[in-house]
Amino acid sequence: MDIPHPIPVLMAEAEDKYRDLLAKQSKTLADAVNEYRRRYKREPPKGFGDWWKFAVEHKAKMVDEYDGLLEDLAPFWEMPGEELRRRALQVGNLPSVDLVRMKDGKAVLMNIEKGFVDSEVSARAKGFVAMTLKFQSKLPDMDFPINAKAEGRVLVPWEHRQFPNMTEQNSSVGIDVMLGGEFTPDWRDTGNVWEAFRRTCHPDSQARRLFSSIRFNAQGKNPVNYFDSTDFGSESGDDFHFPKQLDNKFDFCNNPWAHYNHGHFFSDWRTIPVLYPLFSPGKAAGYSDIRVPSHYYHNPAPRYTYGWDDINQVAKEFDDMEIPWQSKENTIFWRGATTGGGSSPAGFAATYHRHRYVLVRLASDHSDNQRAVVFSDPPNSASYRQVKVPIAKINNEIMDVAFVKSTGYSNYPGGRAAMRKAHRFAESVPLGHHWKYKYLVDIDGMGYSARFFSFLASDSAVIKSTVYLEFFSDWIQPWLHFIPLSQGYHEIYNVFSFFSGPTESMLQATNSSAIHDESIVRKSEDGDRRLRRIARAGKQWKKTVGRTIDMEVYVYRLCLEWARLWADDRDSMNFTMPGLLG
């Protein structure tokens, strides 16, 4: 049938949206102040002029897009500075939380003895300190409680957000009273993340209705913000629906069945049920953590850095293992460990996001199941066909996906033997090995994926699935800088068939003339150009918006906002610009 394919429309919309976003950024300090007033209905924080100078000197492109930061901090405007200061110190004494203290213009990591051994202690706090080095001398005294874990931790029940008087408001009674008892570092069979999360939902939501919250969606539908195309709907169903955005704002409250699909609901680390300030590298919708850049993004390291120089121990612009686009394999590639969730409650690892990706949707499925795929026939034409292809055949043609390490197998039904039988395992590869492939899949681990920035920096195209919001979520554009992938992964085969053209099994399924005519170029030439455009746009974004200095610009702005909240007289911490009309 001769109809437009939805992906070019999504790409065009994305390019227009991002172009408009860049064009409307403030050009002068006066513009930035007025834009701040327009958006947030208050004056910018004290030090805003110095921050603006810092941002301009370092050629920051995003100077107005801080809505996510202000949303993170909004709840703390409801408590006085004295209460905020007390809560920051209290939460900083909890297990798996570090405290960074800004004192006399210098950030210091406070080593607080907590009687709990944590393998991740201080790493993220040290990273936060490093992000403040260029401007900390300009900051007033204040504390930053830093989450030592990758996962979000603060889950405030809906009723307590709507009616704060339901919680003790004066934390001078002590944190044990605030939290309803002694806080342990993990659940220890006394609860789980999902039960804590669903209390954040509206009382009328499906998640608050016990039966609905545990019932599995038998259809396996994934109700995200799809680009709706009904022309192929009769056969392809979800396989031919493409999300406009990531699932990082996914509504688990009204789709509670979907919580089985992501391991962060099974984390072992206890969440905090009261509004305490905690700075975390990422959070899912519903959490009240305050986002900061990941230390993995900011501090170069071999496992997470594109262009790592082993001799000088620094990052460089081009990776030694990078190869030209035309030499890259036309394959969807992923390697990783079986991380992605905990064991609270145990027995659900088979449904975690990484396990489903490898087992159900991709390389390990060699069953007779079929996938509905749409492709142009003849190749490179505007005429499209849809066929059903055995998943085993198409996986063999386009997928190179495997686990490299098994962890948490005691939580997998049947243990290590069952996990290895159900999934493909392969040898570990260095990060640079990824650059051999045109498609790199990026999936959440225990929290956000720390490899995302390195993938963007390469000359490969990134396919990303996540439920996490990060500091840069308002700065990057799906379908321009990367390809968004839904939690269900249904559409990944049609992503490939659009950009790379039909495979042998697709052509066989429709008995296409392209099988018999060697003069016909089967590869989608237009699709390949478009895929390369995404790869290049992602790389350009990393070089211009996702730089380490951009992370520091973000943290500088965050520190100014936090300093105002920290004060007793917050109006005294407003920025004033002589000669600027209100």
Q: Domain for residue 283, yes or no?
A: yes
Q: How many domains does the chain have?
A: 3
For residues 330 and 260, state if they share a domain: no
Q: Domain for residue 138, yes or no?
A: yes
Ranges in the chain, pLDDT < 50 = 212-236, 358-361, 519-521
For residues 278 and 327, state if they share a domain: no
Q: Domain for residue 298, yes or no?
A: no
For residues 96 and 147, state if they share a domain: yes
The 10s digit of each residue's pLDDT in 239-276 is 888 999 988 888 999 999 888 888 888 888 999 999 99
Gyration radius (Cα) of the chain, Å? 25
Q: Domain for residue 300, yes or no?
A: no
Alpha carbon distance, N-terminus to C-terminus of the chain: 58
Residue 508: per-residue pLDDT: 87
For residues 61 and 119, state if they share a domain: no
What does the alpha-carbon distance between residue 364 and residue 358 come to, in Å, rounded to a whole number?
6
Residue 345: per-residue pLDDT: 80
Q: Residue 150 sits in which domain range? A: 75-211+232-291
Q: Domain for residue 580, yes or no?
A: no
DSSP 8-state class, residue 184 = P
For residues 204 and 106, state if they share a domain: yes
What does the alpha-carbon distance between residue 206 and residue 201 come to, in Å, rounded to a whole number?
9
Tell whether omega for the bond before 378 is within 30 degrees of 0, i.e. cis. Answer: yes
Q: How far is CA 304 from CA 223, 314, 336, in A?
A: 32, 12, 12
Residue 206 near residue 254, CB atoms below 8 Å: yes
* Spatial CB neighbours of 249, under 8 Å, sequence gap ≥ 6: 285, 469
The 10s digit of each residue's pLDDT in 379-401 is 778 888 899 999 889 999 999 98
Determine if the pTM surpasses 0.85: yes
Q: Domain for residue 429, yes or no?
A: yes
Q: Domain for residue 566, yes or no?
A: no
Tell whether omega for the bond before 256 is within 30 degrees of 0, i.e. cis. Answer: no
**Token pair recorded at residue 162:** 């709507």
For residues 277 and 346, state if they share a domain: no
For residues 41 and 184, state if they share a domain: no
Residue where the block lists tokens 């939290």 = 179
Q: Domain for residue 388, yes or no?
A: yes
For residues 112 and 156, state if they share a domain: yes
For residues 150 and 190, state if they share a domain: yes
**Token pair recorded at residue 153:** 């931790």
Residue 353: per-residue pLDDT: 60
What does the alpha-carbon distance between residue 49 and residue 65 come to, in Å, rounded to a whole number?
17
